[in-house]
Amino acid sequence: MVQRRRVDAACGLITAACSGGASPALAEGPRLHRFGERDIMTLRNLLLGATMLCASATPAFAFAQDAAPADDSAVAVDDTDYGNDIIVTASKRSQTLQDTPVAVSVTSAAQLEESQIRDLIDLQTAVPSLRVSQLQSSANTNFIIRGFGNGANNAGIEPSVGVFIDGVYRSRSAAQIGDLPNVERIEVLRGPQSTLFGKNASAGVISIVTQKPQYEFGGSAELTYGNFNAITVKGDVTGPISETVAFSIGGSYNRRDGYAQDLKLDTDVNDRNRWGVRGQLLFEPTDALSIRLIGDYDKIDENCCIAGNVIAGPTVAITNALASGPSVDANNPFSYDVYNNFLSTNEIENYGGSAQIDYDLGNLALTSITAYRKVKALTNQDSDFTGADLIGENSQDLGIDTFTQELRITSDFDGPINFLLGGYYFNEKIDQENDIRFGTQFRPYGDQLIRAASGNALNVALLEGTFGALEGAPTRYLGTFFRAGDGLDEAYRLKDEAFSIFGTVDFEVTDRLTLSLGGNYTKDRKNFSTNVISTDTFSGINLDAPQYAPFRQALLIGGGVDPATAAFLAANPTLTLPNGSSANPLAGLKAFQFLPPFLNLPNSVEDGKTSDSDFSYSVRAAYEVTDTVNVYATYATGFKASSVNLSRDSRPLASDLAAITAAGLRTPNLATGSRFAAPEESTVYEFGLKGQWDVAAVNVAVFKQSIKGFQSNVFTGTGFALANAGKQSTFGIEFDGSVRPVEGLNLTLAATYLDAKYDSFVNSAFGDISGTTPAGIPALSMSMGATYTHEFAGGTKAIAHVDYAYESPVQIVEGLSGFPAGVAESLQREVNSLNASFTIRLTNGLDVGVWGRNLTNAQYLTTIFPAVAQAGSVSGYPSQPRTYGGTVRFKF
């Protein structure tokens, strides 16, 4: 009865959250300001369902688990087997999930197979606190945990979510999005993890753990065929070379026709074409020494990613005329019909190797992980997303070389104190070359823009002739404005060198209470340079220059000014209007100076360097309430180093403009912005409960997390604005539970409630948005699933699985440049995704199954943005349509 009362009390925490009586955070009215009555009922019903999961499992709560093995690869995670504990390495020690005082979600190899999760983009359907978005190319993927993260459109931007594969950090998304290797489990650590994982884990960590080579010969082969002519082939083999050496080698091939149609090029687009190989050697010459060598290579060569027209603005009439027919499928992004002038290019090579050495010194264990990674990504895209040839090239040639070294020592004393102490070194070089060039129809397009802006008083030819004549060279500019092939030639270099010293100390106050203290000192230095040359002639014209005063005056006179002003201007033909004055009749043309001359750095004012240092720490108390129920409380800080703006939108700070002008460095039409964003500093207060029994498991976390100096990177229609927000904070509740009510049936429910806001963001791309809700963060996300396994006489099994993912409606972006208030607010995303599979598993190792993802063909926009150089239009990336197929798998 005592055991039952303790568990009832633990489940009561959840029940109280539903009733509102014992949870001030939920009862507080303002925190539900984004919820209507329907949403409140949804949240309460969700938490009530979580309570029912607890209640349904209470008859079996008295049964404790067997002791977990110490080796992190000694037990495979099986959703239907509660006789084994789930082993994780979230704290860089092998612990059971229940004993790990960290908010962590674990997805097993069985779950990946049942849900047809092939990469990290698919993983978000199983982890509600994780959001993954693929942006304009296969190499640009955005990871967000608990509403914190940022875009990956810029290689100089540090990630907020660290991705590790077998302990090796993958620094950029281009190195993270390949098909998942031979996975044992995926751990998603939520909240700041900088104490153990350093400068790029201020929002969380995704840790992928693959299977080690085995000393028993075995392997698997898999063939999948699906709609859109999808073919996936996977295979791996492992076994002994000698009594002390084992190997494994695996490979995968994944191709699919495009699910969208380019009606101008008469071909399918958004296809998939990727393959990879991975080999491992495991040396264990003694019981104390283990050496694991891993080498891998994967390649992507795909046509990605389409953007549909969400709002058709006034420029669509112009692009339709230039294209001699439809240039977009107006206001219909989910038709998956697009019009482009050339196919997108996504050629990505990702390869590297690592060596992990583990040496057992008795009460101490030494671990060394040395790794080198190389990424080469060549991308190109028709970025105007229309059938008119406006942008003839928007390419990027990116190379990233990364070397990392981690060394740590871990104690395993019998006494009350144990520790982990380590050091980490990071060295990365980024070489990036970009080209953006006008297409063959940008000149007539620009001419139409100028005519429309001036009431047909001006045109390209008139401007070319007039500016040249006033400069004393009438033919100087003829035929040069918006000329095909002109644009920007860009080159960027970045070197990042960082080191950190980290450690934790655990003190067992009693056999049930453990206090932990952790710290991490990080030093990060970056050196960066640019070499950007503009050949856009019109963007180099200073429309406020004195030599153009007669032209401006003539326009004013012709514009119908009063007779006295007209007489004054005629008598003063060299009069210069105030610089930047709205009285300048040419001022409206500045919006069409798309690619102005670039101020390169380093220069005499800007040194192109950043130097950051930080000490992050964590304080944690973990208490074992019973043998099956643990609670913990944590306060932790996190750190993310400065992010560098490696793009054409890199501009000097306003505070540097005077010095730049004084030094004679100022270029025509130089605007201010940012060269880099300052570091982020995050904090979290978190309380968690973890319970695991023979037939059920429950994990609950309640937290308040904030980031000061959040690095925001927003597309404005002609470029990206990189800026630091003052502070962003989120209050949240996370629930993750599973129960086996009857033999063979396993039910899961994971849910996340987030109440996020900008406490302070004065200098956003849309002005002061302090006090508003950050876009793209749904208040409620959840994933629920059911797996039923029926075993026939003789051992053959039938496995049926279904899972459903939901995200409540949310505003997609903070704002849309050039649009009135209310437009961005009206464009919302709501996710409803249903997946299912059915598998027959024979006793000889053969599996035959069918599967489907997004079976209801739910449609939503992953993100939206102002159409490139097309004022009044909005483009967006549509979600992937329904996919289905069959799989044959053989394990031996």
Mind spelling out the 3-state secondary structure of 315-368? HHHHHHHHHCCCCCCCCCHHHCEECCCCCCEEEEEEEEEEEEEEEECCCEEEEE
| Residue reference for tokens 């399918």 | 268
- Are 403 and 372 in contact by the 8 Å Cβ rule? The answer is yes
Please list the residues that pair with 147 across neighbouring strands: none
pLDDT at 41: 43
- H or E element in which residue 48 lies: helix 37-57
Largest CA distance in the chain: 105
Residue 610 to residues 401, 523, 759, 823, Cα–Cα distance (Å): 20, 11, 26, 38
Q: How close are the terminal C-alpha atoms of the chain, in Å? A: 47
Q: Which residue has the tokens 């110490």?
A: 70
Taking only the tens place, the pLDDT of each residue in 256-297 is 999 999 999 999 999 999 999 999 999 999 999 999 999 999
Question: Which CA distances in Å does 371 have to 166, 206, 407, 439?
Answer: 11, 18, 12, 43
DSSP strands (E only) in 597-744: 609-624, 629-640, 643-644, 676-677, 680-692, 696-708, 711-715, 720-724, 727-739
One-character DSSP codes across 431-447: EEEEEEEE-TTHHHHHH
Give the list of residues 6+ apart from residue 794 with CB closer than 8 angstroms, or none: 843
Cα–Cα distance between 66 and 492 in angstroms, integer?
56
Residue 521 CA from chain centroid, whole number: 26
The residue among 159, 140, 178 whose CA lies nearest residue 677 is: 159
Omega before 305 cis (within 30°)? yes
3-state SS record for 479-548:
CCCCCCCCEEEEEEEEEEEEEEEEEEEEEECCCCEEEEEEEEEEEEEEEEEECCEECCCHHHCCCCCHHH
Q: Whole-prediction pTM value?
A: 0.85
Distance CA(102)–CA(197), nearest Å, equals 13
Report d(CA 544, CA 531) in Å as an integer.
Answer: 27
Spatial contact of 863 and 876, defined as CB atoms under 8 Å apart: yes
Return d(Cα 676, Cα 157) in angstroms, integer: 9
- Cα–Cα nearest to 180, from 111, 125, 252: 252
If you compute the radius of gyration of the chain from its CA atoms, what whole number of angstroms results? 30
pLDDT of residue 154: 82
Counting as low any pLDDT under 70, the low residues of the chain are: 1-85, 90, 134-140, 150-153, 173-178, 180-181, 557-583, 716-719
Containing 46, the helix (H) or strand (E) segment is helix 37-57
